[in-house]
Chains A and B, each alone.
Chain A
Amino acid sequence: MRLAALLALALALPAVAEERVTGFEQMSEDLQAMQNDPVANPGLFWIADGETLWSEDPGTGADSCKGCHGDASDSMAGVAASYPAWDEESGRPVDLAGRINLCRTRHQDAEPFERVSDELLSLAAYLTHQSKGMPITPDDDPRTDPWRERGEDLFARRIGQLNLSCAQCHDRLAGGHLGSALIPQAHPTGYPQYRLEWETMGSLARRFDNCIFGVRAEPYEAGSEDYVSLELYLKSRAAGLTIESPAIRP
């Protein structure tokens, strides 16, 4: 009986991977409650800081973000759900954090924020919050297509001393375990997100770094063509799933 059930489960695995499940849905009820509790979710601190930064004078004589864009709840609703997106001037797609830094340098005469800084994480989290509950709608500019394909290639490429691809874990073995960790399908529905293991907010690039370190390969750079391609691919794969904010993961 038990064996039959196991066998059925093993055979059902590829089908399970086709049905999309987010990391949130796989979390324990306690963690889901923590994410939904407006007092217990530590990601809210970054969102509050992002809101402050949104209207902060950059100190260069230029406008604040709010000075140009107005109320984020209007102007930025749904924006994060469509990133990475094509940027005309740089002739390539950029991720949300990269887009924020472009506004810093192009429109505020200011230095870009460090990729791993509370400022950039807070602003990105605040903007993502304006898309909470909205479906992921990948940029449909055809110029992003070759990048997405490159992302798909990267996802399927075996890397590192362990010679594993992202797809081996996140397509084929999703729902199984790696040690005590449940292998998710890797849908980026809530980045930047608060990971309990990090004890802080972190970007999707940091999550990629973790998985790439895990297979003993050399991570790429945050905002690099490789990471933006990977994100483009994952966002298409997750198209239609809703944005969570602030998301928590173990």
Chain B
Amino acid sequence: MSALVNIPETAAPGEIVDIKVLLQHPMETGFRTGPDGKLVPRNIIHSLRCLYLSEEVFAAELFPAVTANPFFAFTLVAETTGEVEILWADDAGEEQRQSQTLTVG
């Protein structure tokens, strides 16, 4: 499960910063049958969160209608220098995290 996460490295105080996240995931709905005729167990990314300065600034709850390899784009307002963390988890119990320091000044 790889990810392409784009968090700018620098921003001016008060600047609106674009965050983009593309996740590699099958987003298996649980409604599809496999070659053996049995239902393929559901395995989707069910949640994605973004923390900035340890505070939640964005959260998404996902459902089976979301495409494979989902793309997220959202914004946050740069305040002071600190970590931007992206965390996500799927039904198979995999939890992942990527972070980067946003330097504000």
Docked Cα-Cα span, A200 to B68, in Å, equals: 8
With A40-B22, A42-B22 known to touch, is A199 a contact of B67 (CB < 8 Å)?
yes
Residues in B with CB closer than 8 Å to A38 are 4
A199 near B69: Cβ-Cβ < 8 Å: yes
- Shortest CB-to-CB span from B53 to chain A, Å, is 23
Residues in B with CB closer than 8 Å to A48 are 2
Residues in B with CB closer than 8 Å to A196 are 67
Pick the contact of A42: B20, B24, B73 (CB < 8 A): B24
- Shortest CB-to-CB span from A115 to chain B, Å, is 15
User: Would you list which residues of chain A between 34 and 70 have a CB under 8 Å from chain B?
Assistant: 37-42, 44-45, 48
Question: Scoring A residues 170 to 200 as 1 if CB is less than 8 Å from chain B, else 0, what string do you get?
Answer: 0000000000000000000000000010011
B4 near A39: Cβ-Cβ < 8 Å: yes
Q: Which DSSP category, helix, strand, loop or mixed, fits chain B's interface?
A: strand
Question: Scoring B residues 21 to 37 as 1 if CB is less than 8 Å from chain A, else 0, what string do you get?
Answer: 11010010000000000
Residues in B with CB closer than 8 Å to A42 are 22, 24, 68-69, 71
Pick the contact of B4: A44, A199, A200 (CB < 8 A): A44
Docked Cα-Cα span, A44 to B68, in Å, equals: 14
Interface residues on B, range: 10 to 19
User: Would you list which residues of chain B between 1 and 43 have a CB under 8 Å from chain A?
Assistant: 2, 4-6, 20-22, 24, 27
Docked Cα-Cα span, A117 to B4, in Å, equals: 22
Residues in B with CB closer than 8 Å to A40 are 20, 22, 71, 73
Question: Scoring A residues 191 to 212 as 1 if CB is less than 8 Å from chain B, else 0, what string do you get?
Answer: 0000010011000000000000
- Shortest CB-to-CB span from A246 to chain B, Å, is 12
Residues in B with CB closer than 8 Å to A37 are 20
Docked Cα-Cα span, A39 to B5, in Å, equals: 7
B68 near A199: Cβ-Cβ < 8 Å: yes
A45 near B20: Cβ-Cβ < 8 Å: no
User: Would you list which residues of chain A between 93 and 142 have a CB under 8 Å from chain B?
Assistant: none
The residue on B at minimum CB distance from A46 is: B24
User: Would you list which residues of chain B between 41 and 78 have a CB under 8 Å from chain A?
Assistant: 67-69, 71, 73
Q: A38-B4, A199-B27, A200-B69 are in contact. List 15 more A-B contacts (CB 8 A).
A: A40-B20, A40-B73, A41-B22, A42-B22, A42-B69, A42-B71, A44-B4, A44-B22, A45-B2, A45-B24, A196-B67, A199-B67, A199-B68, A199-B69, A200-B68
A-B contact pairs, 26 of them (CB 8 A): A37-B20, A38-B4, A39-B6, A39-B20, A39-B21, A39-B22, A40-B20, A40-B22, A40-B73, A41-B22, A42-B22, A42-B24, A42-B68, A42-B71, A44-B4, A45-B2, A45-B4, A45-B24, A45-B69, A196-B67, A199-B27, A199-B67, A199-B68, A199-B69, A200-B68, A200-B69
Top 3 nearest A-B pairs (CB, nearest first) are A199-B68, A42-B69, A39-B6
Give A contacts to B, CB under 8 Å: 37-42, 44-45, 48, 196, 199-200
